[in-house]
């Protein structure tokens, strides 16, 4: 089951949203949401959650229960940080939280082992570096972040295996380097 509530001027979602256990895709873009109900964690079949263009200040800790979640987009909100439990989302392939107010990315995000795309660009707070553990995300193919962030992301002490595919990393919207199939993080 899919549910698209985009451009509906919603200020909140009802707690009963958690009763939709068979919900696969929830799209709540371009509304006035400031928060998600904690019952969102009961949507155990959810594969895609799109929350773009709202006023959300924080993602609930209950998001850790969305074990099937593959795509989470929440760009253009007011999110200040990500829950430390984001690492529990082992099936998460794409996380887009650009254009927010994120101050830090939790080290535990490295446990989201399926993550292929991470977009944290244009966060207007004090996000100046990404955790070193991001270098342990073997499946990561695309990383987009602010051009004023430091290069501490890929550190030479990382003992992660070589990535399986070509990986692109971006500062702003400009590609700065690529990792080939045979490259390791120690060669960067």
Which tens digits make up the pLDDT trace of 15-55?
Answer: 999 999 999 999 999 999 999 999 999 999 999 999 999 99
pLDDT (0 to 100) of residue 126? 62
pLDDT (0 to 100) of residue 183? 38
Count of CB atoms situated within 10 Å of the CB of 129: 15
Looking at per-residue pLDDT, the higher value among 32 and 182 belongs to 32
pLDDT (0 to 100) of residue 178? 38
Q: What is the DSSP letter of 82?
A: -
Question: Is pLDDT of 122 > 70?
Answer: yes
Q: Tokens representing 178?
A: 């690529």
pLDDT in tens, 70-88: 999 999 999 999 999 999 9
pLDDT in tens, 125-179: 666 677 888 888 999 988 887 654 433 334 334 444 344 444 555 444 333 333 3
Q: Tokens representing 94?
A: 């794409």
Question: Is pLDDT of 110 > 80?
Answer: yes
pLDDT (0 to 100) of residue 116? 94
Domains of the chain and CATH, by start? 2-187 (3.80.10.10)
Question: Is pLDDT of 3 > 80?
Answer: yes
> For the stretch 131-152, what's the b/e string if a residue is b when 16 or more beta carbons lie within 10 angstroms of its beta carbon?
bebbbbbbebbebbbbeebeee
pLDDT (0 to 100) of residue 147? 52
Q: Which helix (H) or strand (E) is 67 found in, with range?
A: none
pLDDT (0 to 100) of residue 66? 98
């Amino acid at each position: 089951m899919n549910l698209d509530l985009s451009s509906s001027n919603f200020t909140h979602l009802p707690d009963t949203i958690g009763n939709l256990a068979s919900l696969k895709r929830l799209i709540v873009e371009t509304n006035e949401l400031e928060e998600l109900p904690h019952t969102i964690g009961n949507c155990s079949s959810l594969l895609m959650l799109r929350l773009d263009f709202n006023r959300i200040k924080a993602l609930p800790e209950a998001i850790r229960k969305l074990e099937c979640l593959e795509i989470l987009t929440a760009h253009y909100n007011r999110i200040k940080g990500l829950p430390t439990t984001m690492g529990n989302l082992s099936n998460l392939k794409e996380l887009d939280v650009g254009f927010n107010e994120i101050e830090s990315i939790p080290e535990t995000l490295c446990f989201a082992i399926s993550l292929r795309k991470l977009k944290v660009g244009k966060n207007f707070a004090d996000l100046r570096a990404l955790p070193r553990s991001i270098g342990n995300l073997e499946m990561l193919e695309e990383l987009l972040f602010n051009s004023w962030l430091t290069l501490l992301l890929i550190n030479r002490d990382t003992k992660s295996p070589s990535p399986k595919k070509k990986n692109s990393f971006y500062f702003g919207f400009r590609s700065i380097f690529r990792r080939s199939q045979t490259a390791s993080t120690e060669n960067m």
